Amino acid sequence: MDVHFWGVRGSVPTPLTSQEVMTKIEAVVQRISAKDIVSLDSRQRFLASLPPSIYGTVGGNTSCVEIRDSQGTVFLLDSGTGIREFGKNGIPAADNTYHIFMSHFHWDHIQGLPFFDYAYRGDCKLIFYSAFPAAKRILTKQMELPYFPVQFDSGFYSNITFCCIKPGQPFQVGGCTVVSKKMSHPGNSYSYAFIENGKKIIYSTDVELSEKDTADTPENIAFFKDADAIILDTQYTVEESLYKVNWGHSAFSCAVDFAAKWNIKRLYLFHHEPTYDDKKLFSILQSAQWYAQYIVNVDLQIFLAQEGMTFDV
C-alpha cells in the first residue's frame, strides 16, 4: 500500500504567513557563505544541508490522506482542504472511483469537499464510508445557501453513494480489508485499519488517547497490535493536553506510549496544531524521538506528517 499526505493540519487551514517566509529567508542568509554559491553543485549541497524546518514546510491544509492498494484502488481519508490538492495534483484513479472514508464531520475534515474537482465530473464515482447514518445530510448541509453557492445534489455531477459501516465489522474494498473503530472525541470519531497482504496501516485522527485504548481487550488487540504504521493525532504538547482535557486530541508522548504498547513499527505525527509553525513542529518531532529512545526505550520509527510526503508498507 502506498500513502500520500495531502493535508496534515488540524482545526483550521494554516497557510504560511509573510513573517514566517521572511524568517526562513533570514535563516538561510545567516547560514550561507561564499563557498556555498561558487557552483551549481555547491548550491545544491548547501540547500540539502538546510534543516527541513527551513527548506520547505509541513503544510497548511487540513486532513486528507491518500492510500492506494496493490490493485490501484484509491482511498481518500477525510475531505479537509487537502482533498482539493489531490483533485488538482493527484494521480487520477484508473477506474474513476474514489473511496472516501470519513473519520467524523467537524469542519476541518469536510471543508475541502465542495472544492474537490472529481465531484464535478460525470464520469467519476464517489463512495463515502462512515459510521454515521446521517452522513449525506451532514455533507449536504454545509453546501446549502447561504453557506455555499453550489448545492450538493444539484451541483455535483459524479455518481455519489453512501455506505454506512458497522464498527468492528471487517469489509472488503479493492484489495484491502477495512475495519473501523470508535475513538474518544467530542461527537465521536472513527479510526480505520487498512489491511492488505499481511500489512496494516491505521488512520487514527482526532482521538484523545486514554487508558482504555491500551487495555488488553480483544477489540484493541485485533485493531492495533503489530500494525506496520499508524497515522495518529498528536496535536498537543504535554502541557497543552493537561489544560485541554476532553478537547479530543493527544500529546506526542501519549502517542509514543501507545505505539510502543501495541508494537506498532512506524508512527506518523498528524493533525498538527494550527498555532505551531514549522520550527515548533520539527522540535516536537525531535522531542518525540528522544522520548521514544531515552524514556520509553523502544525501537520505534517516528515521522512528522508533511504535505507531499509519501511512504509505503
Q: What is the pLDDT of residue 290?
A: 96
Question: Of all helices (H) and strands (E), which one includes residue 273?
Answer: none
Q: What is the pLDDT of residue 133?
A: 96
Query: Is pLDDT at 241 greater than 90 in this prediction?
Result: no
The CA-CA-CA angle for residues 184, 185, 187, to 5°, reads 120
DSSP secondary structure string for all residues of 186-255: TT-EEEEEEEETTEEEEEE-S----GGGSS--HHHHHHHTT-SEEEEE--B-HHHHHHSTTSS--BHHHH
d(Cα 295, Cα 238) in Å, to the nearest integer? 15
Backbone angles phi, psi at 126, to 5 degrees: -115, 125
Beta-bridge partner residues of 76: 66, 100
Query: Is pLDDT at 242 greater than 90 in this prediction?
Result: no
Tally the C-alpha atoms within 13 A of residue 13's C-alpha that lie toward its C-beta.
Answer: 15
Query: Is pLDDT at 236 greater than 90 in this prediction?
Result: yes
Cβ(252)–Cβ(269) below 8 Å: yes
Q: What is the pLDDT of residue 243?
A: 85
Query: Is pLDDT at 266 greater than 90 in this prediction?
Result: yes
What does the pLDDT look like over 68-127, one tens digit per residue?
A: 999 999 999 999 999 999 999 999 999 999 999 999 999 999 999 999 999 999 999 999
d(Cα 27, Cα 50) in Å, to the nearest integer? 9
What does the pLDDT look like over 9-53, one tens digit per residue?
A: 999 999 999 999 999 999 999 999 999 999 999 999 999 999 999
